[in-house]
Structures are given as structure tokens and as C-alpha cells.
Amino acid sequence: MGKLTANEVKAALSKPGTYSDGDGLFLKVSKTGGASWLLRVQHEGKRRDIGLGSAKLVTLAGVRAKAAEARRAIREDGRDLVAEKRKAKAETITFKEAALTYLDTHKHQWANDKHEGQWLSTLETHAFPALGSKAVGDITAGEIITAIMGVWTKTPETGRRVKQRICTILDYAHARGWRATEAPHKALAVGKGLPKQQGGKHHAAMQYADVPIFLTRLKASGGVWGRLALEFAILTAARSQEVRKATWDEFNLETALWTVPADHMKMKREHTVPLSPEALAVLQSASAVRLTGTDLVFPGTNGGTMSDMTLLAVIRRMKEPVTVHGFRSSFRTWVAETTNFPGEVAEAALAHQNPNEVERAYQRGDLLDKRRKLMEAWGTYCSNDTALANVVPFKQAG
């Protein structure tokens, strides 16, 4: 027999609090005026709170009937009504809704409003038309491939970004319980579900086999700050901004570590870079010609921050059709094709954020020891200016 009466329910709607009707059924009235029915039950030894609707729409008699039906389903049929409700809700969440939720909850990670806008723009242009209205839990690798195939072959750099962003949204949906599996990363690998790209005009990269000879030419090319900054960027696989804004207090030469502050990083997270002997040698050269009146390691005109165009101008003078950022791609390809270092170590060296939110949450440490060995191997490779026409990749299986 219930404890509440219809008149008591009516009166309670204007008085915030929790009112028990017995056998786990409660009326909850919030300070903002909301009123809802809640059924508290036990399922497999765990407490479950089940919402039974608004008290302004569901009558006392009606909610008692719903509560009785729910108790019977749990006690007699062993159903988990909360899990069923979550699943039903998940089935209604579209890819577009999941994407917009991800963007809203990750505002803190954007370098600036422009970066967030670029994310949304690429999704609106290349993902939402085909995937936006689909349930995020049902999206398959084949549907992703169909959605991005045009941009994948026409504009490779944009295609890679769109694929990565779609996978990030799907991984996020999995973490939120809106999707049973993570993104189908393996099925979307180049050479499997997606064709190999012909390359693009954005961030044109040098073949890694040509990097050692290029560095030898670079050292003999003349100039000081632009040349040294470019050499250091290549040896550390760092972004141009991180190098151009670097100050001497970021470096610990005894431990051979460079701690890049968050405000110099694209993702606004502090990043530690192990320095190879070759990278340390560049710093020694920079120190020998250090300018007074500035703490910048690679200063520009009048001691201010060097322009990104300065580094690109060095490359252009050497008549190379590549970009500064492209050397990061050269490094990444070298790791993948000629070494046994795991991909996550290379990604950490590039300061790329793991798109898998679950893995990122449980990953401890920054793989510093492994990254130190990787950067030392890269420095050794880059210092070998022997002709490398007969290089044979030697990555072991597994």
C-alpha cells in the first residue's frame, strides 16, 4: 500500500525534497521546479535507480503501475532495465550528435577557436553529409570509406585528418557507452580498406632516405639561425613553432632533455623531448653565437621570434620541394618502415594525442626512456651521410 496520496503529491510539487511512496518508489522535487518519479531497486546485488517519468505528467496511480511492472521484470525475468534504457538511448544518438558533444566537452584541448572551427568544418564538409544522421553505434568501416573516399584521393592531407577525426568521435562514443566497439582502425588502414595516397601539396615530405644527405648539405649552406633552427627541428621531429619559440631555460643539457611549455605546444600540453647527441651539438653551436638581450635559442631579426617563413626560405634556397612540417612525416615513415619501435612511441615523440580516449586514460608515463632510444637512433641515422640508395627496410613481423 502506497504512503502518498494524490493530494500530497500535488502539494509536494511546490516543495523541493524527496518523498517516499514505499517499496523503492520516490518522488523527487528539485529546487528549480522539476519533479520526477524514481524507482530504486536491486539487480545482481547492485542498486539501480530507474526514472519513471515526470510527476507532472504521470499520475500517482500510473507510476505505481509502472513501478509494479518494472519490479516484475527485474525480479521474475532478471532484466536490467537501466542497461536496456541506456542501450535504447544509445541507438538514438547520431554521429553528428556524438561529434558535437565531443567538441563541446573537449573545448579545453583546442589550441584556439580556429582549431576547433577547423575540426567542425572538416566534419561538416566531409563526414556529416554521409554519416551525420546515422546512429553512431552502427557506423561501419565500409560507410566511413565511402564517406571519405573522394577527399582521401583528391586532398590526401585533409583526407587523413577527416579519417582521424571520425575515428576519434567513434572511440569517444565507445567510451560513453553509445557504441559497442571502438573505431575500426585496422579496417581503415592504408592498403586495406583505403587505397594508398599519391601524396598532397600540404606538408610535402622528403623521403627519409634523403634526409641524411640533406642535413649534410644544410650544414654547408651558410647562414646561422635559420639553418640551425631547421637542423634542430629535423633532429627533434618538433614543430616549427616549438623550435622558433624555444628559450634557453627550457633545456637541461645535463639530462639531455628539452621541456617544451604548454603554451608553445599545439595541444597546449607540456611536452618533454629527449635530445640526441646530434641535437645537443646543434645547441652547442647556437650557444657559441648566442645573442645578448634575448633568451631565444634561435632568434629572428632584432632578437625577436623567428618567422616560420625563415625556415621555409632555407629549404627553398636549397631547391627542395618540401615543407618544414614535412620532416615530421619523414621521421614517422622512417620509424614505421625501418625500425621495430612501436607506433605509440613514435606518436608520443611527435606529441600526438592518442585518439583512443580509453587508452589515453589508462596510459601512465610518457614513454620517455623508449623515446630517448628512438631519438638517439634517429640522430645516428641522420648523421650518416653515406649514399642510401640501397636501403632495405628491416621491420620484423609482429
For 271-293, give the DSSP string. EEEEPPHHHHHHHHHHHHTPPTT
Q: pLDDT tens across 280-321, in order?
A: 999 999 999 999 889 999 998 778 999 889 999 999 999 998
Whether residue 277 is found in the same domain as residue 151: no
CA distances from 149 to 52, 95, 126, 141, 162 (A): 45, 18, 10, 12, 10
Q: For position 276, what pLDDT does the model report?
A: 96
Whether residue 230 is found in the same domain as residue 374: yes
* Residue 369 vs residue 91, higher pLDDT: 369
Whether residue 237 is found in the same domain as residue 113: no
Whether residue 226 is found in the same domain as residue 374: yes
pLDDT exceeds 60 at position 111: no
pLDDT exceeds 50 at position 270: yes
Distance between CA 360 and CA 364 in Å, rounded? 8
Distance between CA 283 and CA 290 in Å, rounded? 10
Q: For position 201, what pLDDT does the model report?
A: 46
pLDDT exceeds 50 at position 390: no
Q: pLDDT tens across 41-69, in order?
A: 776 667 777 787 888 888 888 888 888 88
Distance between CA 237 and CA 230 in Å, rounded? 10
102: domain CATH number? 1.10.150.130
CA angle in degrees (0–180, nearest 5) for 157-197-323: 45
Amino acid in the structure at residue 51: G
Q: 109 falls in which pLDDT band (50, 70, 90)? A: low
Whether residue 262 is found in the same domain as residue 378: yes
Full residue range of the structural domain in which residue 32 is found: 6-84
Whether residue 104 is found in the same domain as residue 71: no
Assess if residue 375 is contained within a domain: yes
Assess if residue 199 is contained within a domain: no
314: domain CATH number? 1.10.443.10
Which of the listed residues 84, 112, 137 is the one where a domain comes to its end? 84
Q: For position 214, what pLDDT does the model report?
A: 92
Distance between CA 145 and CA 23 in Å, rounded? 52
Whether residue 73 is found in the same domain as residue 102: no
CA distances from 297 to 102, 222, 233, 308, 323 (A): 38, 18, 12, 15, 22
Say how many domains are in the chain. 3
Whether residue 46 is found in the same domain as residue 132: no
Whether residue 313 is found in the same domain as residue 176: no
Q: What phi and psi, each to the nearest 5 degrees, are found at residue 155?
A: -130, 85
Q: pLDDT tens across 125-158, in order?
A: 999 999 999 988 889 999 999 999 988 888 887 8
Assess if residue 193 is contained within a domain: no
Q: For position 353, what pLDDT does the model report?
A: 66
Distance between CA 354 and CA 346 in Å, rounded? 11
Q: For position 282, what pLDDT does the model report?
A: 96
Residue 139's CB is within 10 A of a number of other CB atoms, namely 24
Whether residue 128 is found in the same domain as residue 166: yes
Assess if residue 397 is contained within a domain: no
Whether residue 254 is found in the same domain as residue 321: yes
pLDDT exceeds 90 at position 246: yes
Q: For position 388, what pLDDT does the model report?
A: 41
Whether residue 172 is found in the same domain as residue 296: no
No. of H helices and E strands in the chain?
17, 7
Distance between CA 8 and CA 142 in Å, rounded? 57
CA distances from 84 to 23, 58, 64 (A): 22, 21, 20
Query: Range with the lowest mean pLDDT among 207-216, 220-229, 354-363?
Result: 354-363
Q: Which helix (H) or strand (E) holds 252?
A: strand 251-252
* Residue 371 vs residue 88, higher pLDDT: 371
Q: For position 191, what pLDDT does the model report?
A: 65
